[in-house]
Amino acid sequence: MSSENLKQEYQALQEELRSHNYRYHVLNDPVVSDYEFDQMLKRLREIEADHPDWVTSDSPTQRAGAEPLDKFTKVEHPAPILSLGNAFGKEDIRDWYERIARLDDRVRNTDFVVEPKLDGLTVVLHYQNGVFTQGATRGNGEVGEDITENLRTIKALPLRIPVDEKGTQPPSRLVVRGEALITKDDFEKLNQRLEKEGKKTYLNPRNTAAGSLRQLDSRMTAKRPLTLLVYAIVEAENGEVPNTQWESLNFLRQLGFPVSDASQQCKTIDDAIAICLDTDPDSFPFEIDGMVIKVNDLDLADDLGVVGKDPRGAIAYKFPAKSVTTRLEDIRVNVGRTGVITPYAVLEPVEIGGVVVRQATLHNFDFISEKDIRIGDRVLVKRAGEVIPYVIGPIEDVRTGNEVKYTPPKTCPSCGEPIMNPEGEVAYYCTNSACPAQLVRNLEHFVSRSAMDIFGLGINLVEQLVDAGLVNDIADLYTLTKKELLRLEGFADKKAANLINAIANSKSQPLYRLITGLGIRGVGQVAAQDLADRYRDLEALSQVTQSEIESIEGFGPNIAESIVEWFEIPENQEILRKLKTNGVWPVEEPAEEQCPQPLEGLTFVVTGTLPTLSRTEAKDLIEANGGKVTSSVSGNTNYLVLGENPGSKYDQAQKKNIPILSEDELKNLIEERTP
Ligand code: IVH
């Protein structure tokens, strides 16, 4: 056969295999047997062996995995990969609806899409001119890990988007978001096989899918029965993309992506609620942990904006908890950061929804006595979403008489001091402010990632420092010396120097992190940021009155009281004094309120490739100058920043008569508006 004819055969075979792969893994409607498919693939491999230069990354042979990697590289997402707010019942859904309807009238006329909330691993897939070029995990929402080689092994993932019958090309650049998962059936089969082989079985499909995709060796990933469902277009360039969620799902389906057919479009929020409540998760072939309700109009969804990491335009309805019964083996207590003593149940290990549960919370001591929970009882335990499992109550009918009534401890299990139960409160406290357990919890919180973020200082080390008497409060961390650390077990020169360094570096953390780290009841990162913005240093914050704090939006009387109380405690004043002496005294620079930001009040959309700035750099530049960047063009867009090969946003902006800026013009605009 001439080389030309062979190449033709090769290309035809590729097309045919692609189409059978799609029919089998996406449509679940194969038209050839596995044997026939394997024969064709074998032939393709033979041709490729003779003509390695013909092989492209989207060849059907390229799904078997590649050489192992040393580590995953980072991938910056083109737009934030947001999370979702939760609703646990119809009231929560209604509250969400009313909240967004108050923000924007258009919500009252929009329709919704209700989709299954897939319990897998979020993936972000990049296509250039229809070819799959890169795939990433969600990571922190801004930057994920490059798992391209692993994703390539998923047969339901198109390695190439076929050109349709009309010859329509897909957008030149397309970024799609979806969830990689393992079906319940495939998971069962996988475990049966592992069991037969005498190997360790997996606990649940989600963790197996996530673990398989985090393999550095993609040949291992190829052995796992992973599949995929996509549900959103993150970004598209050069090509019309739909402006409703419902059409986006259809569009993705037409392009050859696997899209769940369980999604429904509905006219009103009542219909959406009814779908959520009527859905039985057990009727799905894969695990879902809820339903997602999305505002169908994507411009409106975009305009509604984001709270934290959750877009306002969508909400996840979580199914009610799963429950099982097991034996309560013991009741033990934990000492919290504020000295609160809470009981927890030690359980005979039991599986709930694919997770083995060994402990569950018992809420408080009143709960134990009200429910008459006894050690040895069979108890009903629930687990819902990511929350800690909790005990519902005993099953009294099956008592044997050997169960033992429980009495709360009189003394703190950590320091041995008496436990207090203030009148009218359910909580029991250890009031010894020097209690090591409290101190450990306090320090643990202070050094944690949400507070001072001191790298390398984990719970074991914190315990070691407290046990050795080297640290009696958070401020003592800053007077630790290398010599002291070297006396501790497991410390060598390098480890000691690293820790001292990490602690010293934390002195330059911003004020809100220090405020968070103080562990004032009710003051998390968000409240701490508000306080830091307003008071700028701990000196000013320590002087505030309760009514002053209550006048800040979002601060109620309880949190105001706990802030004032914290600063009144002499031990805490001493901690502040020590922090200041040791140079742990961040001061928040005044916000640039006095001088308005050049782009304040303006909303931008960036599209196409700019001459010098990457899209993220352009976004950072706009935001650093007080402007807002959204991902789609809407009535609120003031300017479109246009680069080469723009997407449909350019057409949309033109239709709406939105002024267009080049990169240079954007820079000029900033300059002109800078006072
Ligand atoms: S939409 C702005 N739709 O659930 C878009 N997310 O708990 C926000 N998830 O991080 C996400 N199924 O990874 C969306 N049908 C679905 C989903 C879904 C599963 C994941 C998603 C998100 C997480 C939030």
Residues 527-567 pLDDT 10s: 898 899 899 999 999 999 999 998 887 788 888 999 999 99
Nearest CA to ligand 1 atom 16: 117
Task: Compute the distance from residue 81 Cα to the ligand 1 centre, in Å.
Answer: 9
Rounded Cα distance between 619 and 580, Å, is 37
Residue bearing the bigger pLDDT, 292 or 194? 292
CATH number of 86-318: 3.30.470.30
Residue bearing the bigger pLDDT, 164 or 411? 411
pLDDT of residue 589 exceeding 70, the answer is yes
**CA-119 nearest atom, ligand 1:** 19
Instruction: Give the binding-site residues of ligand 1, using a 6 Å CB cut-off.
Output: 82-84, 115, 117-118, 122, 179, 231-232, 292, 311, 314, 316
Active site residue 267: no
pLDDT at 591: 61
CATH number of 436-508: 1.10.150.20
pLDDT above 90: percentage of residues in the chain: 67
Which among 84, 122, 234, 288 is the best mutation to test ligand 1's pocket, defined by most ligand atoms within 8 Å of the CB?
Answer: 84
Task: Compute the distance from residue 429 Cα to the ligand 1 centre, in Å.
Answer: 40
pLDDT at 567: 94
Q: pLDDT tens for residues 307-349? A: 888 999 999 999 887 789 999 999 999 998 888 899 999 999 9
Q: pLDDT tens for residues 243-302? A: 999 999 999 999 999 999 999 999 999 999 999 999 988 889 999 989 999 999 999 999
How do the domains of the chain map onto residue ranges?
3-54, 86-318, 323-420, 436-508, 511-581, 603-673
Task: Compute the distance from residue 54 Cα to the ligand 1 centre, in Å.
Answer: 38
Which among 177, 292, 317 is the best mutation to test ligand 1's pocket, defined by most ligand atoms within 8 Å of the CB?
Answer: 292
pLDDT at 60: 93
Q: What 8-state DSSP symbol labels residue 432? A: -
Which among 82, 86, 122, 261 is the best mutation to test ligand 1's pocket, defined by most ligand atoms within 8 Å of the CB?
Answer: 122
pLDDT class of 386 with cuts at 50, 70, 90: low
Mean pLDDT, residues 58-84 taken together: 90
Distances (CA, A) of 283 to 184, 280, 364, 404: 11, 6, 37, 41
pLDDT of residue 192 exceeding 90, the answer is no
Task: Compute the distance from residue 116 Cα to the ligand 1 centre, in Å.
Answer: 9
Which among 179, 265, 297 is the best mutation to test ligand 1's pocket, defined by most ligand atoms within 8 Å of the CB?
Answer: 179
CB 158 within 8 A of CB 257: yes
Residue whose tokens read 């630790």 = 480
Q: pLDDT tens for residues 593-646? A: 556 788 988 999 888 888 888 877 888 899 889 888 887 788 888 999 998 877
Task: Compute the distance from residue 107 Cα to the ligand 1 centre, in Å.
Answer: 20
Rounded Cα distance between 148 and 155, Å, is 13
pLDDT of residue 196 exceeding 90, the answer is no
CATH H-level, domain 511-581: superfamily: 5' to 3' exonuclease, C-terminal subdomain (1.10.150.20)
pLDDT at 653: 87
Task: Compute the distance from residue 117 Cα to the ligand 1 centre, in Å.
Answer: 6
* 636 CB neighbour count, 10 Å cutoff: 15
Of 117, 155, 318, 382, catalytic: 117
pLDDT at 538: 94
Q: Which residues in 301-408 belong to E strands, given as ranges?
A: 306-307, 310-311, 314-318, 322-335, 340-352, 355-361, 378-383, 390-394
Nearest CA to ligand 1 atom 7: 84
Residue whose tokens read 């079985």 = 201
CB-side neighbour CA atoms (13 Å) of 500: 15
CATH number of 323-420: 2.40.50.140
Residue bearing the bigger pLDDT, 238 or 457? 457
Mean pLDDT, residues 407-416 taken together: 93
pLDDT class of 1 with cuts at 50, 70, 90: low
CATH topology of domain 3-54: Helix Hairpins (1.10.287)
pLDDT at 301: 94
Nearest CA to ligand 1 atom 10: 83
Rounded Cα distance between 243 and 299, Å, is 7
pLDDT at 626: 87
Copy the structure tokens of residue 649: 């946003």
Residue 98 makes CB contacts below 8 A (sequence gap 6+) with none
Task: Compute the distance from residue 19 Cα to the ligand 1 centre, in Å.
Answer: 29
**CA-117 nearest atom, ligand 1:** 12
Mean pLDDT, residues 410-428 taken together: 88
Nearest CA to ligand 1 atom 17: 117
**CA-120 nearest atom, ligand 1:** 19
> First-to-last CA distance in the chain?
74
Chain centre distance of CA 654 = 36
**CA-86 nearest atom, ligand 1:** 7
Mean pLDDT across the chain, nearest whole number?
A: 91
**CA-313 nearest atom, ligand 1:** 2
pLDDT at 194: 84
pLDDT at 649: 81
Establish whether domains 436-508 and 511-581 are of one fold.
yes
Which stretch of 172-186, 475-489, 594-608 has the lowest confidence by average pLDDT? 594-608
**CA-83 nearest atom, ligand 1:** 10
CATH H-level, domain 603-673: superfamily: BRCT domain (3.40.50.10190)
Task: Compute the distance from residue 85 Cα to the ligand 1 centre, in Å.
Answer: 10
pLDDT at 43: 94
Q: What is the largest CA-CA distance in the chain?
A: 94
Rounded Cα distance between 308 and 101, Å, is 19
**CA-260 nearest atom, ligand 1:** 15
